[in-house]
Chains A and B, each alone.
Chain A
C-alpha cells in the first residue's frame, strides 16, 4: 500500500462535493475491477492475499458495471463481456448438495474459490448473500437491453434468478432461515427484528417460479419494534449497513409496506433517522472512544482489531475482530468503518460529506488509492497510530459505488424500478404508493 501524504488528503478533502464524490466513487470501483478474476468474473472478498470470492461482492460488482458504463469508466462492450463472464460461470457451476459444489437450489455458497469457484471454508449456503448476488443479476439483466452479448446476459439472468428456490429456504417456518449446509441442513439462526434482509424478501416474493409465501414477509415484520430512541421515531437496527444494503438497489422513497403505513414513515426516512441516531450517539460518545464526533461516525459491520483486551485509563477495553457493530445498544469497541459515512450520502449529503472530510483530515491513513479501509480504531493506538484494517473489503467498495451513484443520478434505483420482479416482490410484500402507484 502506498503511504499517504497528508497534503494529498487536504487536497482531497478540499475538493468540491461533486469532484470528491467522483474521485472516491471511481477509487472504490477500481477495487472491483482490480480484484476480479477475468476468467470467471468472481470478485475477491478482500484485497488480502488468498482471499476467496464473496458472492455478495459479485452482486455489487454486477450492479456497478452499468455505473461504470454511464460514467465513462468502462466501454459498454467490456462491461457486458465481464458481466457475461460471471453469469456464464454461475450458470455452468455445479448446483448440488455435494459439499464442494458452488451452489444448491439456485442459491450459492457465501465464499468461493477464486479460481475453481467451488465452496471454501465449509461456509454456508448464504441466503442473504445469494439475494445480493441476485440483486446484481437482476440489475444487469435490466440494464443490458441490447443485442449480441446483451441478449445472452438477459437470458442467463432470467435463468439464474428463476432457478432460485426461495420457497425451499422457508423450511416450513414463518421466516426464512439464514443459511444451509450440506453437513447439517438449515442453520439455527433466524431473523428477529429489522435488518438488511428486505432485498431478500423482495426478490424472493418477486420470483416467477419459486416465490416465497406471502406470509413470510409478514412473519418477519411481526418481529419489528417501533422505537423512540435519542429523539427519533425509528425501526431500530444497530449496524448502519442494515439500513443501506437493500437501499443500494431499491428506491424506498415514498413507498410503504403495512408497517410503515401504520407508522406514517418509510424505509428511506427510517435510514435518515438512523443516521441521526448514530451521529447523536457519537456526539455523546458515552464510552469515551477516541475520535467519535457528530462528524465522525460509522458504526457497522466490518473488520476490527481482533479479540483483545486493553486496560486504558483504568478502564477495561475489549476489542473484536470482524463483526457487526451497532449503536446505541452496541456492540461498540470504538471501531469506525471509514466508508460508512459516505455510503449514507443519498440520505443526507451534508452529514455524509462533512463527516468524510473531517475523517480525511483527521485520519488520512484510512484512505489509500482513494479507497477506504474496512475499519480503524483510534482508541487502540500503538506508537501514535490508530489500529487500521489491512487492505480493502469488496462489500464496502461496491456499496459505496452504488450509494454515491444513487445520490448523483439515481441510476440503480431507476434500473430496478423497471424490473418486474422487484415491482412484483414489493407489491406482494404489501408496499404501495410513490413510484409503485
Chain B
C-alpha cells in the first residue's frame, strides 16, 4: 500500500474527508465531547445500552493515544528495540557486519500501517453502526444542557467531557522562533534527525529519547530534576538513567534549558546545570514537559462547570459542578494514561446514566513507561505508605536472578512487591523489566482479587517465564516468615 493510499485509509477511519455531520436528534441521552479513549469508551458503552449518543470530535477519532501517543510511539519503540537487539547479534551467534543502516521512511511507514490498522477498531463507520451520531467540529457549551457542535446546537440529558490534553508549552526564550517538535508533531518527521535534543525527562521524553537514539540519532535529554521519571522510585529511575547512557543517550540531569537559538549548523539549546552554562547543538528539539487539559474553548462557565489546577474539577464519581455533566480522561485526571482514560470513560458514563459506575478512588491503576527496560507500577508507593503511617516491606527479586530473564538476555531490572508489615497483604508493586508492562498486569489481577503473598507463592507459573519473578518475590516472603536468609528461594 502506498503512503498516500495508507493515509487516505487512515483518514477514512478517523476523519473522512467527505464527512457530513448528521441531523441532530431533538435531545440526546448522552453527549460526549472528545473521541479519544475516554470519549470512545463512554460513547460506545452508552450506545450499546440503547441510549442515544452524540459524539463530537474536533480533530480525529482515537485522540492522542492513536494519533500522537501510545500507538505511534510504541510502533517506533518496537523498531528501535530490533535495532538494539541487532547490536547483540554476535552474542547469539548471529554476527552482523557493521551497524545496520536506518531506513527512516520505512520505520515511519510501518508506524502508519499499524496506526491505520488499529484505527479500524473504533472507526467512524463502526461508531455509526453502533448508532452513535458523530459530529466533527469544535464543541462548546451553550447552556447547562446544550452545546454547539460545529455550530449545530445539540441538547443533552447528560454529557461527558473527554477532550483530553495537549503538549504543554514551555516559557523558554527563543524556543518558538527556532521551532520545536512535540508528541503531536514528531510522528510526522520525514527524516531521522542527526542530533535530537529532548527537553523533559518524563515518560514520553525518555521513551522517545531512547528510541531515536537506537534508530541512529545522537540524542541529548535534559531534565530539570535530579532524576528521570520523578513519579517513580529512586532505584527504578537510576536503572533507567544507566540504560539510557548505555544506549548512548547523553543524559543531563538537574539541567534547565534557559534558551534556544539558531546555530551555525542547526539549533542551539542553552542549558544551565547549577553554575555550569553550556550550549548543545541539535537539529531538532522535542519538547516533552507534560500535558495540559483542553478546556479553554469549551465555554465551561456557560454550563456551570468549574475547573481546578487547569483541568475540570470532578468528584469521586467523576461528576462536575454541573450535576448533568461528567468528565473523564486527561481533561480531569492527573495521571494521563490511555488505560485510565478508557476506564474513567466507562465509569463516568455509568455514573451519568444512573448505573453503578463506581468511584475513581477505588481504581487500582497500573501504569508503565516503555523504555528498555520498561518501568511499571501499581498501587501505593513506599513513600505514600510511610506518609500514611503504613509500615511496609518491599520484597525484591532482581531480574538477573530470574532464569528466563537470563536466557532472554533481558536481566536488567527488578520486581518489588510492597507488603503491609505483619500481614501478607500486597499494597503495591514496581516492576522494572523488559516486559514490565505485561508483568504488572499479573499484579493488577492479584491485587484486585485480594490475593496475598502466601497464596501467590503457591500459584503455578510457567517455567521459565520472566513473570516467575513475581512468584519468587512471594516465595521470598514465605521464606522470610520462616526466618530464612539464603535468598535463594527459587523452586
Q: Which residues of chain A from 106 to 130 have any CB-CB distance to chain B below 8 Å in the complex?
A: 122
- B18 shortest CB reach to chain A, Å: 53
Cβ distance B406 to chain A, nearest Cβ, rounded Å: 8
Q: Decide: A231 and B400 in contact? CB cutoff 8 A.
A: no
Contact in complex: B414, A329 (CB < 8 Å): yes
Whose C-beta in chain B lies nearest to the C-beta of A178?
B226
Can you add 12 more A-B contacts, CB < 8 Å, to A192-B234, A228-B393, A286-B398? A184-B274, A188-B225, A188-B274, A224-B386, A226-B393, A227-B393, A227-B416, A228-B394, A228-B396, A276-B485, A286-B400, A329-B238
CB distance from A104 to the nearest CB of B (A): 14
In the complex the two chains form, what is the Cα distance from A232 to B486 in whole Å? Answer: 8
A2 to B394, CA, bound (A): 49
Contacts A183-B275, A315-B91; is A227 near B394 (CB within 8 Å)?
A: yes
Q: Considering the complex, which residues of chain B in the window 372-400 have a beta carbon less than 8 Å from any beta carbon of chain A? A: 382-383, 386-387, 391-396, 398, 400
Interface size on A, residues (CB 8 A): 37
* Interface members, chain B 205-240 (any A CB < 8 Å): 225-227, 233-235, 238-239
Q: Which of B305-347 contact A (CB under 8 A)?
A: none
Interface residues of chain A, those whose CB is within 8 Å of chain B, are 122, 181, 183-184, 187-190, 192-193, 222-233, 236, 262, 276, 280, 284, 286-287, 314-316, 318, 328-331
* Chain B residue with the shortest CB-CB distance to A315: B91
B226-A227 in contact (CB<8A): no
Give the top 3 A-B pairs by smallest Cβ distance, nearest first: A231-B487, A183-B275, A286-B400
Asked whether A227 lies within 8 Å of B396 as measured between CB atoms, the reply is yes
B76 → chain A, closest Cβ, in Å?
A: 23
Given A286-B398, A314-B91, A329-B238, do A225 and B246 touch, yes or no (CB 8 Å)? no
Cα A192 to Cα B394 with chains together (Å): 16
Kindly list chain B residues whose C-beta atoms are within 8 Å of the C-beta of A230: 398, 487
Task: Verify B484–A286 contact, CB threshold 8 A.
Answer: no
Interface string of B401-437 (1 = CB under 8 A from A): 1000000000100101000010000000000000000
Q: How far is the CA of A336 from the CA of B246 in the complex (A)?
A: 20
Question: Are A190 and B226 CB-contacts (below 8 A) given A230-B487, A232-B487, A286-B400?
Answer: yes
Taken together as a complex, chains A and B put the C-alpha atoms of A225 and B487 apart, in Å, by: 18
User: Which stretch in B163-171, B348-356, B475-483 binds the other chain?
Assistant: B475-483
How many whole Å from B450's CB to the nearest CB in chain A? 22
- A179: nearest chain-B partner, CB-CB: B274
Contact status B239-A189, CB under 8 Å: no
Contact partners of A183 in chain B: CB under 8 A: 274-275
A78 to B147, CA, bound (A): 89
Known: A183-B275, A286-B401. A231 touches B485 (CB 8 A): yes
User: Could you give, for residues 263-285 of chain B, a 1 whenever the CB lies within 8 Å of some chain A CB and a 0 otherwise?
Assistant: 00000000010110000000000
Q: Which residues of A contact B91 (CB under 8 A)?
A: 314-315
Closest to B90 in A: A314
User: Across the two chains, which residue of chain B brings its CB closest to A124?
Assistant: B274
Output the nearest chain A residue to B476 by Cβ-Cβ distance.
Answer: A228
What chain A residues lie within 8 Å of B235 (beta carbons)?
Answer: 236, 329
CA distance A188 to B395 in the complex (A): 31
Verify B393–A233 contact, CB threshold 8 A. yes
Q: Chain B interface secondary structure, helix, strand, loop or mixed?
A: mixed
Chain B positions within 8 Å of A286 at CB level: 398, 400-401, 411
User: B88 near A: Cβ within 8 Å?
Assistant: yes
CB distance from A151 to the nearest CB of B (A): 41
Inside 8 A of A227's CB, which chain B residues have their CB?
393-396, 416
Q: Does B302 contact A (CB under 8 A)?
A: no
Closest CB in chain B relative to A229 CB, distance in Å: 5
CA distance A276 to B485 in the complex (A): 10
CB distance from B339 to the nearest CB of A (A): 26
User: Within residues 233 to 270 of chain B, which ones have a CB less than 8 A from any CB in chain A?
Assistant: 233-235, 238-239, 242, 245-246, 254
**A263 to B488 CA separation, bound complex (whole angstroms):** 22
Q: Please report the number of residue pairs spanning A and B whose Cβ atoms sit closer than 8 angstroms.
A: 93
CB–CB B239/A329 < 8 A: yes
- Proximity bits, B76-97, A CB within 8 Å = 1, else 0: 0000000000011011000000
The one of B227, B382, B383, B476 in contact with A231, judged by C-beta atoms closer than 8 angstroms, is B476
Contacts of A187 in B (CB 8 A): 254, 274
Cα–Cα, bound, A188→B253 (Å)? 10
- Distance between Cα atoms of A236 and B90 in the complex (Å): 36
Complex contact A228–B477 (CB within 8 A):
yes
Give the distance in Å from the alpha carbon of A236 to the alpha carbon of B225 in the complex: 22
* B488 partner residues in chain A, CB cutoff 8 A: 231
Cβ-neighbour of A232 out of B227, B400, B485 (below 8 A): B485
Establish whether residues A284 and B401, one from each chain, have CB atoms under 8 Å apart when the complex forms. Answer: yes
Known: A188-B225, A189-B254, A329-B238. A181 touches B393 (CB 8 A): no
A54 to B85: give the CA distance in the assembly, Å.
Answer: 44
Write out the residue numbers on chain A whose beta carbons fall within 8 Å of the beta carbon of B245. Answer: 318
Q: Identify 17 residue pairs between A and B in the complex whose beta-carbon atoms are under 8 Å apart, listed by A's number.
A: A183-B275, A184-B272, A189-B226, A225-B233, A225-B394, A226-B393, A226-B421, A227-B393, A227-B396, A229-B487, A231-B485, A231-B487, A233-B480, A314-B90, A314-B91, A329-B398, A330-B239
CB contacts (< 8 Å) of A330 on chain B: these are: 238-239, 242
Cα of A330 to Cα of B225 in the assembled complex, Å: 21
B274 in complex: contacting residue of A181, A222, A228, CB < 8 Å:
A181
A287 CB to nearest chain B CB (Å): 8
Which residue of chain A has its CB nearest to the CB of B416? A227
List of A residues within 8 angstroms of B489 by Cβ: 231
Shortest Cβ distance from A309 into B: residue: B246
Known: A181-B274, A286-B401. A231 touches B479 (CB 8 A): yes
What chain B residues lie within 8 Å of A229 (beta carbons)? 396, 487
Q: Is the CB of B398 within 8 A of A328?
A: yes
What B residues does A224 contact at CB under 8 A? 386
| CB <8 Å contact, A122 and B275 | yes
Instruction: Compute how far the CA of A318 lies from the CA of B239 in the bound complex, rounded to whole angstroms.
Output: 14
Of B88, B416, B480, which one neighbours A314 at CB under 8 angstroms? B88
Residue of A nearest to B385 (CB): A225
B392 to A: closest C-beta gap in Å: 7
Residue ID in chain B nearest A318 by CB atoms = B246
Residues on B with beta carbons closer than 8 Å to the beta carbon of A280: 487
**B391 touches which one: A122, A189, A190, A262 (CB < 8 A)?**
A262
Are A228 and B400 in touch, CB under 8 angstroms?
no
A330 and B242 CA atoms in complex are apart in Å by: 9
- B225 cross-chain contacts in A, Cβ below 8 A: 188
CA distance A286 to B476 in the complex (A): 19
Q: How far is the CA of A284 from the CA of B490 in the complex (A)?
A: 14
Name the CB-closest residue of B to A189.
Answer: B226
| Smallest CB gap from A225: residue in B | B382
What B residues does A318 contact at CB under 8 A? 245-246
User: Complex Cα distance A276/B254, Å?
Assistant: 34
The answer to whether B275 and A184 touch across the interface, beta carbons within 8 angstroms, is: yes
Known: A222-B387, A286-B400, A329-B235. A188 touches B485 (CB 8 A): no
Q: How far is the CB of B479 from chain A (nearest CB, A)?
A: 7
Q: How far is the CA of A337 from the CA of B392 in the complex (A)?
A: 33
Q: B485 — which chain A residues lie within 8 A by C-beta?
A: 231-232, 276
A226-B394 contact in complex given A231-B486, A232-B487, A330-B239, C-beta closer than 8 Å: yes
**A193, B396: Cβ atoms under 8 Å?**
no
Chain B residue, CB-CB nearest to A190: B226
**Chain A residue at smallest Cβ distance from B400:** A286
Q: How many angstroms between the C-alpha atoms of A188 and B254 in the bound complex?
A: 6
